[in-house]
A and B are shown apart, each in its own frame.
Chain A
Amino acid sequence: GAVVSQHPSWVICKSGTSVKIECRSLDFQATTMFWYRQFPKQSLMLMATSNEGSKATYEQGVEKDKFLINHASLTLSTLTVTSAHPEDSSFYICSARAVTFKGWGYFGPGTRLLVL
């Protein structure tokens, strides 16, 4: 079946640094990728939608200058948390889909970010 990977799975960084998270579709071409954020015991909140080769569409309230999303190829999207602060600590999950998919798409395993 389709597989989506994320790297890294865990990251701890100092406040003020930038962190890049990669999301890859391993055996299919993802026309659209989504980035979600999840706080403990809460639901997934969509941050942005990215289509290959075009600018990401951010959800209301998400700072696009802080959460930079790049979808440079049909198999790779990256989320960069710029100048991270402790309140950015969260679980970040990507998902990917292709137009040929029945239903919807597939999720990556997630990345836990801890900003000290």
Chain B
Amino acid sequence: AQKITQTQPGMFVQEKEAVTLDCTYDTSDPSYGLFWYKQPSSGEMIFLIYQGSYDQQNATEGRYSLNFQKARKSANLVISASQLGDSAMYFCAMKTGANSKLTFGKGITLSVRP
């Protein structure tokens, strides 16, 4: 069975600083993909970044980067230069192999302080 774990309580970060949101995962399938989504109060799920299990380099998308440590089964999201608009819920998710279902972690609330 696959599992995503997000255990941090609500996170706070000062505007313009960097913040790391933790995510660990568990799967026995060697082929998997890891995702991060942002969900603001409007409810829409905004795709941020994707990391495939066979990707050699850590994924980056603008201010977002994924610190992928395969041996530790962690896929932490790093947001650089935080902005007030980054305040939202953040979900880590995983899909494995041919099974196209996404399994979500419970999410982390990030609040950016001015």
Are B35 and A104 in contact, CB atoms less than 8 angstroms apart? yes
Of B20-28, B43-51, B66-74, the one with at least 4 CB within 8 A of chain A: B43-51
Number of interface residues, chain B, beta carbon within 8 A: 20
Q: How many A-B residue pairs have CB under 8 A?
A: 50
Are A110 and B33 in contact, CB atoms less than 8 angstroms apart? no
Helix, strand, loop or mixed for chain B's interface?
A: strand
Helix, strand, loop or mixed for chain A's interface?
A: strand
**A65 CA to B47 CA in the complex, in Å?**
32
Please tell me if A93 contacts chain B, counting CB pairs below 8 Å: yes
Q: How far is the CB of A75 from chain B (nearest CB, A)?
A: 18
Our pick among A46, A93, A110 for the contact of B101 (Cβ within 8 Å) is A46
Contact A43 to B105, CB < 8 A, known contacts A104-B35, A110-B44: yes
Chain A interface: which size bin? 20 to 34
**Contact flags A37-60 to B (C-beta < 8 A → 1, else 0):** 010011110100100000000000
User: What residues of chain B have their CB less than 8 Å away from a CB belonging to chain A?
Assistant: 33, 35, 37, 42-45, 47, 50, 91, 95, 100-107, 109
